[in-house]
Amino acid sequence: MNPRNFAFATPASLPLRGVSVRPSICPRMPRMTAATATHTLNGKTLPGPVQPAGQNILVKVAEAQATTTGGLILSSTAKEKPTYGEAVEVGPGRHFGNGVKIPMAVNKGDFVLYGKYGGTDVDYDGEKHTVVTQDDILCKLSGGEYKPSAVVPIFDRMLIKVDQAKEETGGGIIMARNTAEKATSGTVVALGEGRFMENGETEPAAFAVGEIVLYGKYAGTEVEFDGETYMLVRTADIFAKY
């Protein structure tokens, strides 16, 4: 049978009693608008989250206490007191002049220690944050715990447990603690992977955990764990080992 010979029933031709058939009306779609901003920076509304450039990292600041039980204690004599926080946004990294990309050792969500004077403070979403470069990061703290075993140095940094400072002169005179000669030796507790070079390779540190090393008097950043002094130092500042 040829379908052309048949008339197909349509809503208008169906004998519906008591039913008024009207053409369906498509509801008007709401006009699309720009996404509602959910972040602020120094009081200014942003269309989205901050995106750090290069090796910059946005850190939510959590100031370490002067003393903690079983935790980090910032030394009152430290030349540069480190600050603690969580990386909330991380830049894509930067490149050497030859095009080799320097990897980001810090990821979003990592807890980090960084130099107090190394960043720029900002108000992000109503809370204190700071923008630091990866070079300012002293170490990561696994799980955000304040203890030596949680310290993860990045690249060419190392954690050293400092030898006790000399508090007695050659003539037997006891020196006041705040005038005692600063120790410049200690035992390696943790090591980073090594220095990242321009050829894209990593040069491993020529040191090992457990070795005693000598370092520059003004090198590194001093911190304390459970009342014991540690230093976070770059391998380039190590003079010798034994």
Read off the pLDDT band of 6 (50, 70, 90).
very low
CA distances from 217 to 68, 81, 163, 181, 182 (A): 27, 16, 13, 10, 7
| pTM confidence score | 0.69
For 66-119, write each residue's pLDDT tens digit.
544 455 555 544 444 558 899 999 999 999 999 999 989 999 999 999 987 778
**Contact at 8 Å (CB) between 59 and 129?**
yes
Does any domain span residue 231?
Answer: yes
**Contact at 8 Å (CB) between 110 and 84?**
no
Does any domain span residue 87?
Answer: yes
The residue whose two tokens read 């960084």 is: 114
- Give the number of domains in the chain: 1
Give the model's pLDDT for residue 182. 64
Give the model's pLDDT for residue 71. 56
Please say if the pLDDT value at position 19 is more than 70. no
Give the model's pLDDT for residue 72. 55
Does any domain span residue 9?
Answer: no
Please say if the pLDDT value at position 240 is more than 90. yes
Please say if the pLDDT value at position 53 is more than 60. yes
CB-count burial class (<10 Å; 0-12, 13-18, 19+) for 43: exposed
Please say if the pLDDT value at position 227 is more than 90. no
User: Containing domain of residue 129, as a range?
Assistant: 44-241
Does any domain span residue 19?
Answer: no
Share of the chain above pLDDT 70, in %: 69
Does any domain span residue 206?
Answer: yes
Mean pLDDT, residues 163-192 taken together: 67
Does any domain span residue 173?
Answer: yes
Does any domain span residue 141?
Answer: yes
For 143-173, write each residue's pLDDT tens digit.
888 789 999 999 999 999 999 765 555 555 5
Give the model's pLDDT for residue 28. 43
CATH number of the domain where residue 123 is located: 2.30.33.40
Give the model's pLDDT for residue 117. 78
Does any domain span residue 33?
Answer: no
Average pLDDT in the chain: 77
